[in-house]
């Protein structure tokens, strides 16, 4: 596998970063996960734009334009003959001292990995996921804003540990007010009386690219979509529930904290959106090969 490392495509074995990189020492950096479908990079500009906004929020200047970054992603896919897969874009603060001061890190490191991903077993897309709500509170927006897709994912990792220790694969995180924020690695939607509801990002969610796409797809299909503060009660009493994310795509949730959602099977709107999303990805990507 060829890895893009600060301007060069190098062999996987040579793709190494320094132990003094603040990405490693402090989780100081930002990242993106992007999918390639049918020879196209899905919503590439949107992902790159969010990467630059995350970087701006942590005062990290990426030494490359957004256009150059998009080209680097396409180059990396081509170097690995990738037409279907998962692309991980990472920008670290770079090499510095053992102290915190980010201004002593001269050069951010840019890493692009074009590989494969299988988040959940395919049968879970038929049966739906069981989830629990967890005690790990989603980062307070004035501490580390969850809109920043930073390399510091310990908040999510701690939540994921709770999920796995409870015997499920994913969990729902609440904010410090007890309101629903998101899953450990996905956004959450519920359907109640035919209306699709999702927490506003200020409740502690990443502004998910899949979330945005699904909201647009649903609106175009004539479904009412609203951002709404949700409590655990709204999860327990939902008619349908699903998660959205680059890796997960659209996946139903059929049980929360041992409460069955709807009739215990993926709901009608969820199944419809899964099909529409599959079509949407065909139309909304940037070609990997030059036309
Ligand atoms: N929330 C979190 C915490 C995430 O890490 C992700 C991405 N895996 C998402 C939501 C979904 O965002 P996107 O649709 O942009 O992948």
288: in domain: no
Here the CATH number for the domain that contains residue 99 is 3.30.470.10
Instruction: Tell me the best of 30, 246, 250 to mutate to test the pocket of ligand 1, counting ligand atoms within 8 Å of each CB and taking the most.
Output: 246
Instruction: Tell me the best of 30, 90, 184, 187 to mutate to test the pocket of ligand 1, counting ligand atoms within 8 Å of each CB and taking the most.
Output: 187
Q: Can you give the pLDDT at residue 92?
A: 98
Q: Which of 98, 115, 132 is the last residue of a domain?
A: 115
In ligand 1, the atom with minimum distance to the C-alpha of 210 is 14
In ligand 1, the atom with minimum distance to the C-alpha of 184 is 3
H/E element, 275: helix 268-283
87: in domain: yes
Q: Can you give the pLDDT at residue 203?
A: 98
158: in domain: yes
Residues 138 and 271 both lie in one domain? yes
289: in domain: no
CA distance 199 to 52: 24
Q: Can you give the pLDDT at residue 117?
A: 83
Residues 97 and 129 both lie in one domain? no
Residues 107 and 196 both lie in one domain? no
Q: Which of 115, 147, 177 is the last residue of a domain?
A: 115
Residues 156 and 71 both lie in one domain? no
Look at the chain and report how many structural domains it folds into.
Answer: 2
Residues 28 and 131 both lie in one domain? no
Ligand 1 centroid, distance to 154 Cα (angstroms): 15
Q: How many residues does the chain have?
A: 291
31: in domain: yes
Q: Are 120 and 129 in contact (CB under 8 A)?
A: yes
Q: Are 242 and 251 in contact (CB under 8 A)?
A: yes
176: in domain: yes
Residues 197 and 149 both lie in one domain? yes
Residues 64 and 138 both lie in one domain? no
Residues 139 and 250 both lie in one domain? yes
Q: Which of 115, 137, 171 is the last residue of a domain?
A: 115
287: in domain: no
291: in domain: no
Q: Which residues span the domain enclosing 107?
A: 2-115
Please identify which of the residues 2, 40, 130, 149 carries the catalytic annotation. Answer: 149
In the annotation, is 149 catalytic?
yes
For residue 33 and ligand 1, the question of a CB distance below 6 A is answered with yes
CA distance 244 to 211: 6
The pLDDT tens digits along the chain (291 residues) read 999 998 999 999 999 999 999 999 999 999 999 999 999 999 999 999 999 999 999 999 999 999 999 999 999 999 999 999 999 999 999 999 999 999 999 999 999 999 998 889 999 999 999 999 999 999 999 999 999 999 999 999 999 999 999 999 999 999 999 999 999 999 999 999 999 999 999 999 999 999 999 999 999 999 999 999 999 999 999 999 999 999 999 999 999 999 999 999 999 999 999 999 999 999 999 999 988
Please give the model's pTM, rounded to 2 decimal places.
Answer: 0.97
Residues 132 and 110 both lie in one domain? no
In ligand 1, the atom with minimum distance to the C-alpha of 50 is 15
Instruction: Tell me the best of 208, 243, 250 to mutate to test the pocket of ligand 1, counting ligand atoms within 8 Å of each CB and taking the most.
Output: 208
In ligand 1, the atom with minimum distance to the C-alpha of 182 is 1
Ligand 1 centroid, distance to 181 Cα (angstroms): 12
Residues 137 and 275 both lie in one domain? yes
Residue 127: how many other CB atoms lie within 10 Å: 13
Here the CATH number for the domain that contains residue 221 is 3.20.10.10
Residues 94 and 223 both lie in one domain? no
Ligand 1 centroid, distance to 129 Cα (angstroms): 17
Residue located via tokens 């995180």? 173
Residues 161 and 249 both lie in one domain? yes
């Amino acid at each position: 596998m060829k890895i893009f490392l600060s301007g060069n495509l190098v062999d996987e074995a040579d793709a190494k970063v320094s132990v003094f990189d603040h990405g490693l020492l402090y989780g100081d950096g930002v990242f993106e996960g992007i999918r390639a479908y049918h020879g196209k990079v899905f919503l590439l500009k949107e992902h790159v734009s969010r990467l630059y906004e995350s970087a701006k929020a942590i005062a990290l200047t990426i030494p490359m334009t957004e256009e150059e970054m998009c080209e680097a992603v396409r180059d990396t896919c081509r170097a690995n003959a990738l037409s279907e897969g998962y692309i991980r874009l990472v920008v670290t603060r770079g090499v510095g001292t053992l102290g915190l001061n980010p201004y002593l890190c001269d050069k951010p490191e840019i890493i692009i990995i074009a590989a494969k991903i299988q988040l959940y077993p395919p049968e879970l897309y038929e049966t739906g996921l069981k989830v629990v709500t967890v005690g790990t509170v989603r980062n307070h927006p004035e501490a580390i804003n969850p809109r920043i897709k930073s390399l510091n994912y310990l908040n999510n990792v701690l939540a994921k540990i709770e999920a796995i220790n409870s015997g499920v694969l994913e969990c729902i995180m609440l904010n410090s007010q007890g309101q629903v924020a998101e899953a450990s690695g996905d956004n959450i939607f519920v359907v109640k009386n035919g209306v699709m509801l999702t927490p506003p990002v200020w409740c502690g969610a990443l502004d998910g690219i899949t979330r945005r796409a699904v909201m647009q797809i649903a609106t175009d299909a004539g479904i009412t979509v609203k951002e709404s503060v949700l409590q655990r009660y709204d999860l327990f009493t939902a008619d349908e529930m699903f998660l959205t994310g680059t890796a997960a795509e659209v996946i139903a949730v059929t049980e929360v904290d041992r409460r069955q959602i709807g009739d215990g099977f993926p709901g009608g709107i969820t199944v419809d959106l899964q099909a529409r999303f599959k079509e949407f990805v065909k139309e909304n990507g940037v070609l990997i090969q030059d036309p």
